[in-house]
Amino acid sequence: MKKQLINLMLAATLFALANPLTSCTKKDTTATPTPSSPTLAKGKSSVTATITGSYTGTFKSNEVMSSVAKSSAIINIASATSSALGGSGGLSEQFMIILPANIAVGTYNTRDLTGVSFTYVGSNGTSASGWTSGGFETNINFKVTKSTAEEIEGAFEGTMGEEEKNTTISAKGTFAAKF
């Protein structure tokens, strides 16, 4: 009788532990929502991008691994993801966007502004490559759709170069941040 009670308790415990794992619904990751700064916590950023070329993947930042800093001169949007936290690409990916602090709503090109940078770094755990709008053969068009004292949102599309390996990628995506 005692052994049956222990087996019953063990079965109940296993059921209680396994039930949340089997009753969860998987989040639909096929849709890439447009980042929205109002949904972000203060000091956080969000970047999504489809990347093609010498590296191909879909980047969607993880809020835990994102930040934004704004000074009197620049806005620094830093977003990252990791396969350990549900990243879709390599082991680790980072996207950084640097914009002037006083940027207004409008359409821009990185070639026309000084101090503007779009940078993507992808790592598969054994090697890493990085592409930047400051590299060769680069041309990023971007549109700032919202720019307030507390938030910024926009979209970008273009090519980034990596001079050391002489490679380029194309990136199309969106960004949002709450200061």
Which pLDDT score is estimated for 67? 95
The residue with greater pLDDT, 149 or 124, is 149
Residue 119 within any structural domain of the chain: yes
| Cα 174 from Cα 77, distance rounded (Å) | 12
> Per residue in 41-85, pLDDT tens?
999 999 999 999 888 888 899 888 899 999 999 999 999 988 665
- Domain hosting 110: range is 34-178
CATH number of the domain that 112 lies in?
Answer: 2.40.128
CA atoms within 13 A on the CB side of 4: 1
Residue 69 within any structural domain of the chain: yes
> Per residue in 106-133, pLDDT tens?
999 998 888 899 998 877 665 667 777 6
Residue 29 within any structural domain of the chain: no
Residue 6 within any structural domain of the chain: no
Residue 26 within any structural domain of the chain: no
**pTM of the complete model:** 0.74
Structural domain tally of the chain? 1
| Cα 26 from Cα 106, distance rounded (Å) | 38
Which pLDDT score is estimated for 167? 83
